[in-house]
Structure formats: C-alpha cells, structure tokens
Amino acid sequence: MAEFMIAAAIFVLAMVALGLARILWGPSDADRIMAAQLLGTGGVATLLLLGEAMSVPAAVDVALILALLAAFVSVAFVKGVASSEADGA
Amino acid sequence: MTLALDGLTILAVCAGAFFFLAGTVGLLRFPDPLSRLHALTKADNLGLGLIVLGLLFQAGGLLAALKLIGVWLLALLAGASISQLIARTARPGGPPA
C-alpha cells in the first residue's frame, strides 16, 4: 500500500509541476495565481499521501498549515490588485 | 476486510489523481481565465476530496479521520471564497465597483 501511495504522490506532484508552466505563460496575473493555488492544493494532497505512506502523522498538521497559507496567498493577491487600482496604477 | 478497504483506497486515490490530471490539462489548455478557473476548482475540490476519501479508509482512528476531513473542509472553504475573489479580478472589464 505504501508503494501505491508514494506513486500517487509523485503523480500529483508531477501534475502540479506541469501546471506551473502557467506561471511562465501568464498572460494575466490571475492565471499565475491560479497555478500557485493548484500548487497549494496539490502540495496538501502530496503531504497527506506521503504522511500515510511513511506513517508520519505530523504530515497532516503540515498539510493543514499549507492549506491555510495557500489561502492567504490568493487573498493577498486580490488585496494587492484592489489597492493598486485604487492608486490609479 | 482489509483487502476491500485497500481496494476502495486505490479506487478513490486514483480518481482523485485523475482530477488533478484534468485540472492541470484544463489550466494549460483552456482558452480564457474564467474557464481555467473552472478547471482549477475541480482539482481543488474533487481531486483533494477523493484523495482524502481514499485515505480515510486507512485512517487509524476517529481523531485521525476527523483531522483529514478538517483539512478537506478548510480547502473547500478557502477554495470557494478564493475562486470568487480571483474571478472578480479576472473577469473582462475589470472588477465590479
């Protein structure tokens, strides 16, 4: 079972890494933040799978914190867009 | 019994991994930001949800299972509100006043 979990974790991580090409291509900042959002969710899934495969219960706590921080990244992005538009930039 | 639970885990985790595949392909191939956001939320909600469901069958106890569900609920709540916020900035014509 552990081998399957690790294989699934590697697959999810590879998918997320492919999605990061969107950060390079853009074209808008919203597209880039979407790829970062996918990295956050994929990271949570990878952590949960690896924690189960390697019997590390603390990985669930790390996944919880990563989910929280990934949410704050996007909130900071939206706040930044709103304030830069208020400046007339 | 263990074999059946392992089978359910493999099924659910494979389905979740498939949704991550679909989300990545959508994010790379869809033509405009709003449809890309649609693909992303599938990976966010269903991909992570199915992987959590698969891991629930392997969870050692009630506390561990509840914690896994808590991670998913947090991702759901964050994903839903953030998709709204990103869609606001991504929509043509800029964010509404």
Interior/surface letters B42-64, b for 16+ CB within 10 angstroms, e for the rest: ebbbbbbbbbbbbbbbbbeeeeb
Which residue in B43, B52, B82 is closest to A48 by CB distance?
B52
- What parts of chain B have a pLDDT lower than 70? 94-97
The reported pLDDT for the residue numbered A48 is 93
Domain residue spans in chain B? 2-90
Instruction: Work out whether the CA dihedral A21, B80, B31, A89 comes out positive or negative.
Output: negative
The reported pLDDT for the residue numbered B73 is 93
Q: Of the candidates A78, A27, A65, which has an alpha carbon nearest to the alpha carbon of residue B71? A: A65
Which residue in B27, B55, B85 is closest to A22 by CB distance?
B27
Contact: A19, B71; criterion CB under 8 Å: no
pTM of the model: 0.88
The reported pLDDT for the residue numbered B34 is 86
Contact: A37, B28; criterion CB under 8 Å: no
- % chain A with pLDDT above 70: 96
Which 3-state string (H, E, C) describes A3-58?
Answer: HHHHHHHHHHHHHHHHHCHHHHHCCCHHHHHHHHHHHHHHHHHHHHHHHHHCCCCH
Dump pLDDT digits (tens) for A41-83.
999 999 999 999 998 989 999 999 999 998 898 888 888 877 7
Helix A2-19 to helix B2-29 angle (10° resolution) is: 10
Which residue in B10, B67, B85 is closest to A75 by CB distance?
B85
Gap between the Cα atoms of B16 and B51, Å rounded = 5
How far A71 CA sits from the closest chain B CA (Å)?
Answer: 6
Contact: A15, B20; criterion CB under 8 Å: yes
Domain residue spans in chain A? 2-86
The reported pLDDT for the residue numbered A7 is 94
Interface residue B12 vs chain A (CB under 8 A): no
Contact: B78, A49; criterion CB under 8 Å: no
- Reported ipTM: the value is 0.87
The reported pLDDT for the residue numbered B94 is 64
The reported pLDDT for the residue numbered B14 is 94
